[in-house]
């Protein structure tokens, strides 16, 4: 599914350079493009959008992170009316200032049942010279629940990162509600696949919050500082050359 949606992701991320050519090509071929896939909503921290809007083609901008190509499927013993419209996606940052999104809303099977929710999406950096270096996953699931997540890059079929959180914990440390992964090679875009599992015993079991944040290199503040330094260096170099030209002795005998 992620590979099929690759065209939509490339249109969203590269709209400045390629959207005109793509639309013209579609019109010449007699195909009328769906305008929804090119729409992007910008969220400030704490603002939210319904997941159903994202699965219908809307993309989400949080700072310099672009989230797109969302999909939602479910399987198992969830109520028939449970769907993407029961979840909201909130713009967040973590304690380290890393930007990301939160899936907010109750993911709960019927009493005595179990089920999986599958959410996929793409995330990329829009600031030139920045790369995603780490990803972080946190949730508040009650027993028995778990999230297994894989991250893919550059259309490679092998994941570049794997994260797991669960309650009760199956990994160390004993309270396994948070997991992080560092990429061997930082990238500008990732495709995320989440398998969210919940099983209800005699009482209600649910997940109400799933946080996903991303570290990057260099950080936005570092990029701004480097840009300022570059401008200052250029100005200083020009001034130095101008001073030398005005103080050089005249040539000749």
Domain regions of the chain by residue span: 36-244
Which pLDDT score is estimated for 11? 32
Mean pLDDT of the region 61-68? 97
Which pLDDT score is estimated for 202? 77
**Which residues touch 246 (CB under 8 Å, ≥6 apart)?**
none
157, pLDDT greater than 60: yes
E strands present in the chain: 40-42, 48-50, 59-62, 65-76, 88-93, 99-107, 114-125, 131-139, 145-152, 161-167, 178-187, 189-199, 207-217
Beta partners for 114?
199
Q: What percentage of residues in the chain have a pLDDT greater than 90? A: 64
Name the strand (E) or helix (H) holding 224.
Answer: helix 220-247
CA nearest to 100, candidates 143, 71, 139:
139
Count how many Cα atoms sit within 13 Å of the Cα of residue 41 in the half-sphere of its side chain: 18
Q: How far apart are CA 11 and CA 97, in angstroms?
A: 28
Count of Cβ atoms closer than 10 Å to residue 38 Cβ: 17
What is the token pair recorded at 136? 């972080």
Average pLDDT, the chain: 81
pLDDT tens track for 4-55: 333 333 433 343 334 333 333 333 333 333 444 459 999 999 999 999 999 9
Which pLDDT score is estimated for 155? 84
Which pLDDT score is estimated for 34? 40
240, pLDDT greater than 70: no
pLDDT tens track for 87-135: 999 999 999 999 999 999 999 999 999 999 999 999 999 999 999 999 9
Mean pLDDT of the region 171-195? 90
Kindly report the CA angle at 73 between 69 and 77, in degrees rounded to 5? 160
pLDDT class for 72, splitting at 50, 70, 90?
A: very high
Q: What percentage of residues in the chain have a pLDDT greater than 70? A: 69
């Amino acid at each position: 599914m992620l590979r099929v949606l690759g065209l939509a992701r490339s249109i969203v991320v590269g709209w400045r350079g390629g959207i005109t050519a793509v639309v013209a090509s579609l019109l010449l071929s007699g195909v009328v493009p769906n305008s929804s896939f090119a729409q992007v909503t910008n969220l400030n921290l704490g603002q939210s959008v319904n997941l159903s809007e994202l699965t219908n083609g809307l993309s989400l901008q949080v700072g310099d992170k672009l989230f797109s190509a969302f999909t939602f499927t479910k399987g198992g013993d969830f109520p028939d009316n449970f769907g993407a419209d029961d979840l909201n996606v909130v713009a967040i940052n973590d304690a380290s200032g890393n930007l990301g999104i939160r899936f907010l809303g109750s993911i709960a099977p019927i009493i005595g049942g179990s089920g999986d929710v599958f959410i996929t999406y793409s995330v990329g950096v829009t600031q030139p010279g920045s790369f995603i270096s780490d990803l972080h996953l946190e949730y508040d699931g009650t027993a028995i629940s778990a999230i297994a997540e894989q991250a893919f890059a550059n259309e490679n079929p092998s994941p570049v990162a794997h994260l797991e959180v669960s309650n009760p914990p199956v990994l160390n440390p004993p309270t396994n509600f948070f997991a992080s992964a560092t990429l061997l090679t930082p990238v500008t875009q990732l495709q995320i696949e989440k398998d969210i599992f919940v099983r209800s015993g005699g009482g209600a079991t649910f997940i109400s919050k799933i946080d996903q944040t991303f570290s990057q290199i260099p950080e936005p503040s570092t990029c701004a500082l480097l840009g300022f330094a570059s401008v200052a260096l250029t100005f200083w170099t020009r001034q130095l050359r101008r001073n030398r030209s005005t103080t050089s002795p005249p040539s000749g005998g």
